[in-house]
Every structure is written in structure tokens, then in C-alpha cells.
Amino acid sequence: MRYVASLGGVILLLAFGTSAQIRPESSLSFASPFPALAAAVPSANAAFALPSATAEPLGAAAEPQGVYGVTQNFNFQAYAGFTYLRFYELPTTTGNLDGFNFSVVYYPHGGRLGVDGELVAVFAPQGGVNTTLVMAMGGARYRFPTNRGFEPWVHALGGGAHFSPQTPFGGQGALGVELGGGIDLIPRRSRLSYRVQADLVETFFFGTYQANPKVSIGIVYNF
């Protein structure tokens, strides 16, 4: 009988120790028996959560691709080129002058009608003396934009002209008027273009007038 009682006590001690091992302080009795499934299924709060303000809107359109082959109309054009002018100084005196042509054009809002300013300086030896004709003029320019890589234009300018050296025929200053046009050749996706222009320049030196043809070729920067 004593042995039976001792055996029963040992069994009770073993049973108590086993129960203590399977019930730690941080009990898992309320945890989900399927942790992988719980992680895969969103909670109710997550299902009704509002989208973040920084998130990309649903169905946002992709960034548009660049459009090529269309000539962009810039507001400003700056030109520098080589110029030849045949100067009919007097009925018996004609000079072939060459030099430089500079101009700046502003087209408001990139439109067709612009404000044109031009400076011309041409030179030539004459009778052992270097002659110089300088003209500064302003006026209007009208262009005809196309999508074919070129842009024709016309302009009308007026201003002053100065001729040196002093001659016995009259003063060195006179009125100058220029009428003409040209064409700009515009490579694709480039701010640089190439210009060819032809003008008729009228000056009023020495109590008479001169009708002088002028041609120019050069480079245009569009901005």
C-alpha cells in the first residue's frame, strides 16, 4: 500500500510539471492557429482604409512622348551673317561692298508678326581709300511658319545710314530704307537655322537717292 501511494505521488508531480511547461506566461491561446492565412487576408480596417494622398492616381496616363517633325515658333531670333551690297554712290561711281549683317527679331507670343532691328556694316577700297557704309534700321517682319523645315519671311525697315570718308558731294549721313525677305532653313530639333535673304536698300546721299541690292547668308539662333 505504501508503494502504491508513493507511485501515485510521483505521477501527480510529473503531471503538474508537464502542465507548467505547455502554459508559459505569454499565452498563445488567443493567437490564430493559421498565422500564414491571417497574414494573407487583410484586416477589416485595411479593407476600408483611404488611399494615400501621395499614391499615383488610378489609371494615370503615361507621360506623353515628344512630338517631332513640327517647327516650334520661338519668340526671339538673333542673326549674324555675311553681306554683299552693290552701292550706286553716284551715276558714275559704283562700289562693291561686303561685310556683316546683324539682326534681332521679337515675335510677341511666338506669333507671325514681329519687331525687327538690323545693323549692317559693309566695306570696300575705293580710289585708294577704304570706304564704309553703316546702316541701323528698325521695322516689322512677318513670317510664314511651316512644318517642312523652312520658314519664309518678309520685312520692311527704316532708319539711318552713314557713309565715310567725307566726300565733296555732300554729307555723310542719310535716310535709309530696306525692303525684302528671305527664307530660314530649320534642321529638326535644333535652335540653329540657316538664312538666305535678299533686299533692296534705298539711301538718300548727296542730294539724290541710291537703290542698292543687298544679299546676305548666315546663321540664326532661335530662343
130-142 pLDDT, tens per residue? Answer: 999 999 999 999 9
Cell triple for residue 109? 507670343
Residue 168 is predicted with a pLDDT of 86
Report the pLDDT value the prediction gives residue 11, as an integer from 0 to 100: 53
Over residues 71-91, the pLDDT tens digits come to 567 899 999 999 999 999 888
User: What is the predicted pLDDT for the residue at 71?
Assistant: 53
Residue type at position 103: S
Of 47-61, 143-157, 188-202, 203-217, the one with minimum mean pLDDT is 47-61
pLDDT tens digits along 15-66: 445 444 444 444 444 444 444 444 444 554 444 454 454 454 554 455 444 3
Does any domain span residue 195?
A: yes
Answer yes or no: is 83 within a domain.
yes
Cell output for 103: 539682326
Confidence of residue 164 (pLDDT cuts 50, 70, 90): very high
Question: Over 80: is that where the pLDDT of 4 sits?
Answer: no
Decide: helix, strand or coil at residue 208: coil
Report the pLDDT averaged over residues 203-217: 95
Q: Which domain holds residue 84?
A: 76-222
What CA–CA distance (Å, rounded) separates 161 from 137? 8
In a domain, 212, yes or no: yes
Find out whether 223 and 74 touch, Cβ atoms under 8 Å. Answer: yes
Rounded to 5, what percent of the chain is helix, strand, coil?
15, 50, 35
Within a domain: residue 160?
yes
Which three three-digit cell numbers place residue 138? 528698325
Per-residue cell: 130: 577704304
Residue 102 has pLDDT above 80, yes or no: yes
What is the domain count for the chain? Answer: 1
Q: Residues in the chain, how many?
A: 223
Name, in order, each residue with C-beta under 8 angstroms of 176's C-beta and a sequence gap of 6 or more.
135, 137, 158, 159, 160, 161, 201, 202, 203, 204
| Arithmetic mean of pLDDT, 176-180 | 98
Q: Which three cell numbers stand for residue 177?
A: 530704307
Return the CATH number at 193: 2.40.160.20
CA gap 162, 146 in Å, rounded:
37
| 183 pLDDT tier (thresholds 50, 70, 90) | very high
pTM higher than 0.95? no
pLDDT score of 31 = 46
- pLDDT above 70 as % of the chain: 68
Judge whether 102 lies within some domain: yes
Report yes or no on 172 lying in a domain: yes
The answer to whether residue 18 sits within a structural domain is no
Q: Helix or strand or coil: residue 87?
A: strand
Q: What is the pLDDT of residue 72?
A: 67
Element (H, E) at 123: strand 113-126
Mean pLDDT, the chain, whole residue set: 79
pLDDT at 10 over 70: no
Average pLDDT of the residues in 153-157: 98
Half-sphere exposure of 179 (CA within 13 A, CB side): 3
Residue 159 pLDDT > 80, yes or no? Answer: yes
Q: Is residue 187 part of a domain?
A: yes
Distance CA(69)–CA(71), nearest Å, equals 7
Given a contact cutoff of 8 angstroms between Cβ atoms, the answer to whether 81 and 218 are in contact is yes
**Nearest residue to 103 via CA among 114, 88, 92, 90:** 114
Name which of 115, 110, 119 is nearest 80 in CA terms.
119
Burial of 12 (0-12, 13-18, 19+ CB in 10 A): exposed
